[in-house]
Structure 1
Amino acid sequence: MISQTMTVALPDTPRAAPMPQSLKPPRFLSARTITALILREMESTYGRQPGGYIWAVLQPVGMIVLLSMAFSLLVHKPPLGTNFLFFYAISYLPFDVYSSLQGKIGSALSYSRALLFYPRVTWIDTILARFLLNTLTLFTVFFIVTGGINLMYETRAHISLIPLMQGLSMAAILGLGVGMTNCLLGGLFPVWDTIWAILSRPLFLASGVLFLPEAMPPAVRDGLAWNPLIHIIGLVRQGFFPTYENNLVSLTYGYGFGLVLMVLSLIFLRAYYKTILQQ
């Protein structure tokens, strides 16, 4: 009896088919999303009105002209330098960088609420898109306006880039930190937007836009030092007038204030952004 051994050929284990090119996750997904959000923001903010980006320059210029005309009737010489337009430009524009950024970032989630239901769009993408676009726009406006005034008038300014960029970057970080905090609190407690609008109204007067802090009495000067905007505007003034001495300026306090707000907001936004979207 001859025993025959039967060999059963097992089918080869199928290999995973390569993922179609269209289904592969695109590279630099977050960068592409942020770029798309920036283009959308540019179209909605500047592309639908006559003049577009021209208004981004004309609006602060109008405010500076009004301040200059009003105070030139009261005093014969600006508190710093020789030109009223230039003094209020280097005082108001850093404040405007902070103010505009915190306002834009504070409404970032509500502005892009519909897009956040798509899995490729995250809450941090919407904040970064608004921050990058508006920071670039506001910095450009700052240099256009101050450079134009400096060319048209004798301002006796001597530009020092280090304190100038320190002041502007501090304004951007503070605007980001305050904006993210308002985004969090306003999303969780809608009444916060009204409360913040009331609380922030005195900031324009308390930030040294219209005066030099060191000219104030010591008690007032020490109180103003708690306002980080005093440090921002002081640095920008030093960027144009290196001989201007402002002992209130503290890089540690100015940057630290904005960074602490930003880090705390990141932690809580990550935990509660879904709750905010459902409000």
Structure 2
Amino acid sequence: MIRNPLSVSFSVWRAIFLREALDRLFDMRGAWFWLLAEPVLHIGFMAFVFSIMRVRTVGNVDVFVWIMVGMLAFFLFRRIAVQVSYAVDCNRPLFTYRQVKPFDPAIARAVLEAFLMAIISTFILGTAALLGHDTFPGDSLLVMQAVFGLWLFGFGYGLVASVLMELVAEMEHVLKILMLPLYLISGVIWPLSAVPHPYRDILMINPIAHGLELVRLGFFPDYHTVSGLSMQYLYAWAVISVFLGLLLYRRFALQLVMR
């Protein structure tokens, strides 16, 4: 029976998805717990810091929920970017099968990470709602658009990063260091509206900042966000990064497989 290429691709993606899921959830004792513990510890620590500073609201929003929503959105981007960056390296033995291409583990990892983050986010937001916080989004469509934009940008970032790391080994250290500044300048732990204007415009070049603020605005329609937010800007960066990543995958396909 002759199968069409699309059917073969879906079968490969399904197999790699299941393989990656087993690896992510059962590669060590309590692996599923640490997937949840990381964002919970980050959120809890920042909430504790703000409580010591006696800050109750940010932009007319409960500071605890403000931190939670922004941090979960950033973790979505970061986890997808990191997982896709190492997709080729961690799945190199699979390339002995001619059906498996370097792009296949990348897309499988991106979808898996989105699925895991959806479960984690639902659990954390649901727990916060039971504790009396308002965590139901006011504009679900805006939240989904912004979240998908962050997912797409994280996917594109990971594609580009994986090729760069294969070509220049030292890029791995550079990209790891880059994640900390991104965490700080994306408005995850402090409001960008508090940054003076000349510097705020520089920070808003970062598309992740647009994504995080749009997610918060979707949750809280009365949120006092920064001016100049643009969904188109976020998606422009996302689409360009994915397109560039695909070009690099095609150009260096042999190097990715044969290293």
Q: Same fold (TM over 0.5)?
A: yes
User: Displacement of 1:196 after TM fit?
Assistant: 1.6
Work out whether 1:35 is the aligned partner of 2:37: no
Aligned twin of 1:8: none
Superposition deviation, residue 230 in structure 1: 0.8
Q: Is 1:88 aligned to 2:55, yes or no? A: no
Post-superposition offset of 1:154: 3.4
Residue equivalent to 2:80: 101
Among 134, 138, 142, the alignment partner of 1:159 is 138
Instruction: Please give the residue correspondences for 1:143-158 in structure 2 after superposition, counting only pairs within 5 Å.
Output: 143-155=122-134
* Corresponding residue for residue 218 of structure 1: 197
- 1:10 aligns with none
How far does residue 26 in structure 1 lie from its aligned partner after superposition?
Answer: 7.4
Decide which moves more: 244-253 or 66-75: 244-253
CA deviation map 1:111-146 (0-9, x unaligned): 110101211111121111111111111122222212
| Structure 2 counterpart of 1:65, one-letter code | G
Q: 36, 41, 62: which is aligned to 2:41?
A: 62
User: What is the CA distance between 1:39 and its match in structure 2?
Assistant: 0.8
Name the structure 1 match of 2:155: 176
Letter in 1 for 2:197: P
Q: Is the 8 A contact 2:80 2:155 kept in 1?
A: yes
Task: Find 1:209's aligned residue among 142, 164, 188.
Answer: 188
Cα deviation for residue 98 of structure 1 reads 0.4
* Cα separation, 1, equivalents of 2:172 and 2:77: 17
The 1-side partners of 2:105 and 2:71 are apart by 27
Q: Deviation at 1:249?
A: 1.3
Q: Evaluate the alpha carbon distance shift between residue 171 and residue 158 of structure 1 in structure 2; reply closer, same or farther with a 3 A threshold.
A: closer
Partners in 1 of 2:167 and 2:41 — Cα distance? 36
Counterpart residue type for residue 262 of structure 1: V
Is 1:255 aligned to residue 235 of structure 2? yes
Does structure 1 retain, via aligned residues, the 8 Å contact 2:152–2:238?
A: yes
Q: Would the aligned equivalents of 2:65 and 2:133 in 1 still touch at CA under 8 Å?
A: no
Return the index of the structure with the highest Cα Rg: 1
Aligned mates of 1:156, 1:201 — CA distance in 2: 27
Contact kept, 8 Å, 1:105 with 1:127, in 2: the verdict is: yes
Q: With structure 2 as the length reference, what TM-score do the two structures score?
A: 0.92
Q: 2:92 aligns with which of 98, 110, 113?
A: 113
TM-score between both structures, scaled by the size of structure 1 = 0.86
Is this contact kept in 2: 1:97–1:138, CA < 8 A? yes
The runs of 5 or more residues in structure 1 that have no matched partner are 1-20
CA separation in 1, counterparts of 2:42 and 2:178? Answer: 22
Match of residue 122 from structure 1: 101
Q: Which runs of 5+ in 2 are unaligned?
A: none
Alignment pair present for 1:74 and 2:74: no
- Over 3 Å counting, the alpha-carbon distance change for 1:75 and 1:206 in structure 2 is same
Which is worse superposed, 140-149 or 48-57?
A: 48-57
- For 1:78 and 1:139, the matched residues in 2 are separated by 26
> Is residue 269 of structure 1 aligned with residue 249 of structure 2?
yes
Cα distance change on mapping 1:158 and 1:93 into 2, 3 Å: closer
- Give 3-state SS (helix, strand or coil) of 1:214's partner: helix
Offset of residue 50 of structure 1? 3.4
The letter for the 1-side match of 2:74 is F
Give the residue type in structure 2 aligned to 1:97. L
SS of the residue aligned with 2:54?
coil
Q: Is the 8 A contact 1:83 1:153 kept in 2?
A: no
Q: Read off the aligned partner of 2:12 and give its amino acid letter.
A: T
**Structure 2 counterpart of 1:218, one-letter code:** H
Going from structure 1 to structure 2, the CA distance change for 1:70 and 1:163 (only over 3 Å counts) comes to same
Conserved? CA contact 1:72–1:84, under 8 Å: no
